Amino acid sequence: MYEELKRIIKESQRIVFFGGAGVSTESGVPDFRSENGLYQAQQNYGRSPEEMLSRTFFLQHTDTFFDYYKNNLIYPDVKPNKAHLALARLEQQGKLQAVVTQNIDGLHQLAGSQKVYELHGSVLKNRCMQCGRPYDISYIMESGHCKGYVPHCEHCGGIVKPEVVLYEECLDDDCLRGAAGAIAAADTLIVGGTSLVVYPAAGLIQYFQGKHLVLINKSSTPYDDKADVVIHQAIGEVLHACVEE
């Protein structure tokens, strides 16, 4: 399978990568939807991660939201892994046209990728809900301007909200259109680290009309029988082995 993927990459000129949580877990970022993530949320907060990461919960229990958010979604010391670095290399070679990611950690950009569609936003971007003033991640994590766990704008006093897409919120239209357009124009789509069950993001696969569909994921997906290449292994190792220096 590695040789076949190497051949496809060599022949392709418009590759798009679509990735999920499995790309970041190899850097040490836990998947909050995993069995362990679910257990930790129920054990420590008595609620599911999906409830605590909903817009309703954010508005009604803002202090608890930020307590959970800071302790479970922010990992400032993690580094890009072999998958991130291989994709950045493909972009530098002129083969990779875009990365479409469901992750919110900014690791693709840290690895050097330039064209990244962050479907669910980014923990690195934050904005005052009242005046729109932008803030970086360090502002969210510092406690000097926080009332409890909640960060407030130094300009107007409004709550500073992470620019991540919460449950009950819509994905950004411009980001969705850009991602769909990139996938539609691709000659090869490499899907990795995702089970393709989280919608509406997973629905973007339907826009692909190109030549080769490649799936790299430790478990099976609903699209396995439609792919040219299916590899059930760690995505970092696969891409590192298949992308030429």
The closest of 46, 47, 107, 40 to 77, measured between CA atoms, is 107
The pLDDT assigned to 202 comes to 78
Integer Cα distance of 229 and 231 in angstroms: 7
Distances, alpha carbon 201 to alpha carbons 16, 71, 143, 206, 245, in Å? 15, 25, 34, 10, 31
The pLDDT assigned to 24 comes to 94
What is the DSSP secondary-structure string of 56-74?
A: HHHHHSHHHHHHHHHHHT-
Integer Cα distance of 5 and 229 in angstroms: 7
Among the listed residues 84, 108, 120, 212, the single catalytic one is 120
* CATH architecture of residue range(s) 123-164: 2-Layer Sandwich (3.30)
As a whole number, the mean pLDDT across the chain is: 92
Mean pLDDT, residues 72-79 taken together: 90
pLDDT digits (tens, 9 = 90+) for 184-222: 999 999 999 998 877 777 789 999 999 999 999 998 888
Mean pLDDT, residues 5-31 taken together: 93
Specify whether the CB–CB gap between 12 and 90 falls below 8 A: no
The answer as to CATH 3.30.420.10 being correct for domain 1-28+80-120+170-245 is no
pLDDT above 70: residue 29: yes
Residue 139: exposed, middle, or buried by beta-carbon count in 10 A (0-12, 13-18, 19+)? Answer: middle
pLDDT above 80: residue 143: no
Residue 118's SS3 state is strand
* Domain 1-28+80-120+170-245 and domain 123-164 have a common topology: no
Percent of the chain with pLDDT over 70: 96
Look up 232 and say whether it is catalytic: no
The pLDDT assigned to 76 comes to 84
**Where do the domains of the chain lie?**
1-28+80-120+170-245, 30-74, 123-164
pLDDT above 90: residue 43: no
- pTM for this prediction: 0.93
pLDDT digits (tens, 9 = 90+) for 46-63: 999 899 999 999 999 999
The pLDDT assigned to 37 comes to 66
pLDDT band at 35 (very low <50, low <70, confident <90, very high): low
Mean pLDDT lowest among 89-103, 108-122, 188-202: 188-202
